[in-house]
Amino acid sequence: MKEKDKRVLVGMSGGIDSSAVCIMLQEQGYEVVGVTMRTWDIPSHFSTPGQSQPDEVLEAQALAARLGIEHHVADVRKEFKEVIVKYFIDEYMSGRTPNPCVMCNPLFKERILCEWADRTDCAWIATGHYCQLKDINGARYIVTGDDSTKDQSYFLWKLPQDILKRMMFPLGGMTKTEVRAYLASKGFEAKAKGGESMEICFIDKDYREFLKEHCPDIDERIGAGWFVDSKGLKLGQHKGFAYYTIGQRKGLEIALGKPAYVLKINPAKNTVMLGDADQLKAEYMLVEQVNVICMEELLRCKELSVRIRYRSRPIPCQVALLDNGQLLVKFEGEASAITPGQSAVFYEGNRVLGGGFIAFQQAIKKIAAENQEKFNR
């Protein structure tokens, strides 16, 4: 390898996974450069009074010093607020349920890693994601990690080819248990026993409290609205559509004499439709803002499945491309709680073909009836 080809930038969070990546790549002969992003400060990130840097930065710096690797801190709090936090708030204020990790990886973290890789003359970028890569016909595909309980391929469907072709996922062929054992065997017993990080790094408690804190006029802008049934009949008042998500059962604060679930959210009318669990089931789904490596491959795939939320099981399906660029998904297994704003990620076996965002499902039955001939089987 040429000198630059030996340099790899590792996104270091100070946690178990990125620490293992650094050690592993060093052992493989790479010159490791670490960068830790300071994205958002919350009290739980600071262990001692007067601490100037969050725990993850201090832990990453300590590991870098111990391994003798170059380390940088990227203070990107301003950009993170303007891009990811704004997206998160805007989605809820539009009646959708966001998945900030899906947006953060391509739009933010990997973009910044690319910038730092160029700045530090690194050919490669490595992270601790539990997924793998496979090259087919000149394209690079994401493949699920061997540890199905930790697989993170769902979050990465928006990554473009130019970034994927610089990426390394050294942990993709390992289980979390194996990673912990590896760290311990290298003399990092305390690190190996560390806890897991939060799924949404910038929210300490409940997202509703976060919305109120960062949108102090939310109750004035949205205000109370009506719970309705599937026929549009009013059932009682709610606090505002932004505080609810599809499939939600707890915290509705309405007594109907039987369990009720959020079926639909209409931000234009500020109504939240309630019903029973059976009414959450769906035969079809609309997906927008689609990003796939090869549309023709997706449309003709005979063993296609889709995941509609993180850690959900893949559901066998067919897809049809509509004239407006949306995908119409026909489920061939049971699907429930189709949630606008969440990601729909398409797989052929363990290979990610692409994904999109779940759209509002208005007129879905009519659209499905008009497009039956477009399905490939």
Provide the edge-to-edge strand list for the sheet that holds 271-275: 234-238, 225-228, 271-275, 261-266
DSSP-assigned letter for residue 10: E
Catalytic residue, from 101, 201, 301, 317: name it.
Answer: 201
173 annotated as belonging to a binding site for a ligand: no
CA distances from 376 to 159, 242, 268, 318 (A): 27, 38, 36, 7
The pLDDT, as a whole number, for residue 376 is 62
22, 101, 104, 301: the catalytic one is: 104
284 alpha-carbon distance from chain centroid:
22
Other C-beta atoms closer than 10 Å to the C-beta of 14 total 22
| Domain annotation for the chain: domains and CATH numbers | 4-192 (3.40.50.620), 222-275 (2.30.30.280), 281-374 (2.40.30.10)
- Mean pLDDT across the stretch 332-343? 96
The residues, any chain, with a CB within 8 Å of residue 246's CB and separated by 6 or more, are: 97, 262, 263, 264, 265, 280, 337, 338, 339, 340
**Annotated binding residue 17:** yes
15 is in an annotated binding site: yes
Measured CA to CA, the distance from residue 291 to residue 159 in angstroms comes to: 9
Question: What's the pTM value of the predicted model, to 2 decimals?
Answer: 0.94
DSSP of 313-340: PPEEEEEEE-TTSPEEEEEEEEEE---T
DSSP assignment, residue 133?
E
Let me know: does 7 contact 124? Beta carbons within 8 Å.
Answer: yes
| Structure confidence by residue, pLDDT tens digits, 128-140 | 999 999 999 999 9
Distance CA 39, CA 41 (A): 7
Q: Which residues are bridge partners to 136 per DSSP? A: 139
Share of the chain above pLDDT 70, in %: 98
13 is in an annotated binding site: yes
Alpha-carbon distance of 359 to 364, in angstroms, equals 10
Determine the pLDDT at residue 199: 66
CB atoms within 10 A of CB 375: 14
At residue 1, the pLDDT reads: 46
Give the per-residue pLDDT at 196: 75
Is 101 one of the annotated active-site residues of the chain? no
Residue 302: CB atoms within 10 A of its CB come to 8
18 is in an annotated binding site: yes
Indicate if 294 belongs to the active site. no
- pLDDT on residue 100: 93
Give the residue-averaged pLDDT of 163-187: 97
At 218-266, the pLDDT tens digits run: 999 999 999 999 999 999 999 999 999 999 999 999 999 999 999 999 9
